[in-house]
Amino acid sequence: MNKKNKMNDNLDWTVQQYETTLKHFPNLNKMMEEPFLLRMILTVLPSLMKRHSIGTKISKSQVYEVFNEQWIDVHVKNVVNKLSELRIQSNPKKIKAAFYLYCQDLAFEMFIQGNQVATENDYREYETDKIWSKLDPIIETETKSEDEKLEIKENESNTTVTKKQDAWDQYFNGDSIAKYALRRVGDNKYQF
């Protein structure tokens, strides 16, 4: 097992402990044929053993559930540690609930969009337009983002154009700490 694995608090487990434990949960063997699930099962096996009695049939969804809980716990712990370094009091239970809800909503939106990467808008251009409009209120500035899409609807007699908001805006508004549960994969691009 990789010593750098933050997800697993049971780094003192030996290969023999893993082998013995896996023999008690035979249905996990079929799941372990997939490399992705193998890694996940090895990460959560100590927790699964604590939750389920020997011989229990464990489903993929139960493995995912334990993995997600551990994953969120790691990120909550990181945020709480950073906030405590800044001498800011925090409530880990509230942060965990916020992370869980945020991740659940974002994952569902990613599923709906058919996309594994969520893109955060670059708000610098919005701020520049706001500053210019405050400096000279007579001149109207038209803000168009590359993320705003125009949706054209044709009726029988007239055509209307409406602005369609970017699907990811609601997940990256302001400086929400919930987005720190995501992994940055590029400029303003995140995924689980």
Q: How confident is the model at residue 182 (pLDDT cuts 50, 70, 90)?
A: low
Task: State whether residue 165 is helix, strand or coil.
Answer: coil
125 and 170 part of one domain: yes
Does pTM top 0.85 for this prediction? no
pLDDT digits (tens, 9 = 90+) for 54-111: 888 899 989 989 998 998 899 899 989 988 998 888 889 998 998 888 888 888 888 8
* Better-scored residue on pLDDT, 188 or 134: 188
4 and 58 part of one domain: yes
Closest CA to 119 of 177, 167, 180: 167
Predicted local distance difference test score (pLDDT) of residue 81: 92
Boundary-marking domain end, from 33, 65, 97 = 65
133 burial (CB, 10 Å; 0-12 / 13-18 / 19+) is: middle
120 and 179 part of one domain: yes
102 and 165 part of one domain: yes
124 and 103 part of one domain: yes
90 and 136 part of one domain: yes
d(C-alpha 192, C-alpha 189), whole Å: 11
- What is the rounded average pLDDT for all residues in the chain? 72
Residue 156 clears pLDDT 60, i.e. is over it: no
> Whole domain around residue 72: which residue ranges?
66-191
54 and 82 part of one domain: no
Predicted local distance difference test score (pLDDT) of residue 177: 62
180 and 117 part of one domain: yes
Residue 122 clears pLDDT 80, i.e. is over it: no
Work out how many domains the chain is built from and give that number.
2
119 and 98 part of one domain: yes
Residue 161 clears pLDDT 60, i.e. is over it: no
Boundary-marking domain end, from 44, 65, 86 = 65
Closest CA to 1 of 31, 39, 30: 39
Boundary-marking domain end, from 65, 90, 111 = 65
Predicted local distance difference test score (pLDDT) of residue 93: 92
163 and 126 part of one domain: yes
Residue 150 clears pLDDT 50, i.e. is over it: no
**Cα torsion angle, 60, 64, 67, 70, sign:** negative
Q: Which of 100-109, 118-127, 155-164 has the lowest mean pLDDT?
A: 155-164
Structure-token pair, residue 6 = 């933050």
